[in-house]
């Protein structure tokens, strides 16, 4: 039985498989934007909420329906001129729970998300005065770890890597076109708008990146990146996911930065079975009707069993259970989808 948590602009919903149909519970957090889901080391689920009036919150649940708020969500230190706009992602690193936020920063919790400390080494990086937002804001939206290293993707700044448990961080964007550097101009250290980031859990230095400027691969932990777009209708998009068992990659191309909808109205995921060297439309089941909708950068999730689900900005959910060979559009419709989590 599969269950899917869906975070939207107006609350969260729990979908539970029930025969050929789905039971929908919710909305939870009515009136709040729900932006991220995660899990503590003890197995409790966490959800991030946001409000223009009440700020951000972190909530915990044992059953996915009843949620209790943390007394102390991530906040910038007193006197900071930064605004805590949104929690974009949660990530487990050993016993710690990490949160990437906007305005861009990384926070760490040692008590399952009840209290949080800023990761000053990244948040006050020497390049900080050169960080600037993309269209989605200045956001730390992806955290990866493995083999003693951590990576954080920040838009519109780039990827940072730490090899010393977060004590120091290095920009890792060689090979990525800068957002606003003229051809032949001097490359800056930061200013690379990463949208999505994935890696091989067994070989974490093998990485894939969906960027504002295209799709790229690295085999050395981000030291160097190479473009990999053969077979894609466009290089723009926000989704990059890799199945840990088979190595299959999935991405969802959009036309361009100026027109963030599927190319020619054809909503398709694309898949690669050769580490991104070539891409093709992923399977069958796609709608023949024009689909002019987007997929946001945290509105997808996959599991080890071959399940992958993504939500659109028009509130629809698409699901595959076989790594993209066949797809179905779920019948329920939601507000604009910001986060998806397959929980069982």
Q: Where are the beta strands (DSSP E) in 163-225?
A: 170-171, 194-199, 207-211, 214-218
Choose among 290, 326, 328: nearest CA to 306. 326
How far is the C-alpha of 75 from the C-alpha of 252, rounded, in Å?
A: 33
Q: Are 102 and 85 in contact (CB under 8 A)?
A: yes
Q: What is the mean pLDDT of residues 145-166?
A: 97
Question: Would you state the pLDDT for residue 1?
Answer: 86
Residue 183 scores a pLDDT above 70: no
User: Considering the chain, what percentage of its residues have pLDDT values greater than 70?
Assistant: 98
The pair of three-digit structure tokens given for residue 136, joined into one six-digit string: 């989605």
Residue 181 scores a pLDDT above 70: no
The pair of three-digit structure tokens given for residue 25, joined into one six-digit string: 């519970």
Confidence of residue 163 (pLDDT cuts 50, 70, 90): very high
Q: What is the mean pLDDT of residues 223-230?
A: 98
The pair of three-digit structure tokens given for residue 185, joined into one six-digit string: 């101009």
Q: What is the mean pLDDT of residues 44-67?
A: 95
Residues 311-326 have pLDDT tens digits of 999 999 999 999 999 9
Sign of the torsion formed by the C-alpha atoms of 241, 299, 29 and 143:
positive
Q: What distances in angstroms separate CA 115 from CA 29, 108, 218, one per listed residue?
A: 20, 8, 35
Residues 65-114 have pLDDT tens digits of 999 999 899 999 998 999 999 999 999 999 999 999 999 999 999 999 99
Q: Give phi and psi for 80, each to the nearest 5.
A: -70, 145
Q: Indicate the average pLDDT of the chain.
A: 95
Residues 251-268 have pLDDT tens digits of 999 999 999 999 999 999
Question: Would you state the pLDDT for residue 182?
Answer: 53
Question: Would you state the pLDDT for residue 168?
Answer: 98
- Stated pTM of the model: 0.96
How far is the C-alpha of 140 from the C-alpha of 137, rounded, in Å?
A: 9
How far is the C-alpha of 180 from the C-alpha of 227, rounded, in Å?
A: 18
Higher-confidence position of 70 and 178: 70
User: Considering the chain, what percentage of its residues have pLDDT values greater than 90?
Assistant: 92
């Amino acid at each position: 039985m599969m269950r899917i948590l869906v975070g939207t602009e107006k609350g969260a919903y729990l979908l539970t498989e029930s025969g050929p149909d789905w039971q929908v519970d919710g909305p939870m957090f009515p009136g709040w934007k729900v932006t991220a889901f995660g899990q503590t080391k003890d197995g409790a689920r966490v959800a991030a909420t946001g409000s223009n009036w009440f700020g951000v919150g972190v909530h915990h649940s044992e059953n996915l329906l009843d949620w209790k708020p943390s007394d102390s969500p991530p906040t910038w230190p007193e006197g900071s001129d930064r605004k805590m706009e949104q929690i974009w992602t949660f990530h487990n690193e050993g016993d710690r729970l990490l949160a990437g936020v906007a305005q861009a920063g990384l926070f760490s919790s040692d008590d399952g998300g009840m209290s949080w400390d800023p990761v000053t080494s990244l948040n006050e990086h020497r390049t900080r005065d050169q960080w600037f937002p993309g269209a989605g804001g200045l956001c730390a939206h992806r955290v990866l770890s493995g083999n003693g290293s951590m990576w954080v993707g920040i838009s519109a700044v780039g990827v940072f890597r730490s090899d010393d448990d977060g004590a120091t961080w290095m920009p890792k964007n060689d090979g990525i076109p800068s957002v606003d550097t003229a051809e032949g101009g001097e490359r800056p250290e930061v200013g690379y708008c990463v949208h999505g980031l994935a890696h091989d859990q067994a070989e974490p230095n093998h990485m894939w990146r969906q960027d504002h400027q295209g799709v790229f691969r690295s085999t050395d932990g981000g030291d160097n990146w190479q473009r990999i777009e053969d077979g894609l209708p466009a290089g723009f998009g926000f989704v990059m996911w890799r199945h840990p068992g088979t190595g299959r990659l999935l991405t969802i191309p959009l036309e361009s930065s100026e027109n963030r909808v599927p190319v020619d109205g054809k909503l398709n995921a694309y898949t690669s079975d050769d580490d991104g060297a070539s891409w093709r439309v992923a399977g069958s089941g796609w709608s023949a009707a024009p689909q002019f909708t987007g997929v946001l950068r945290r509105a997808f999730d996959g599991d080890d069993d071959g399940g992958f689900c993504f939500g659109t900005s028009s509130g629809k959910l698409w699901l595959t259970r076989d790594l993209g060979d066949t797809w179905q559009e779920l019948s329920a419709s939601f507000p604009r989808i910001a986060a998806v989590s397959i929980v069982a």
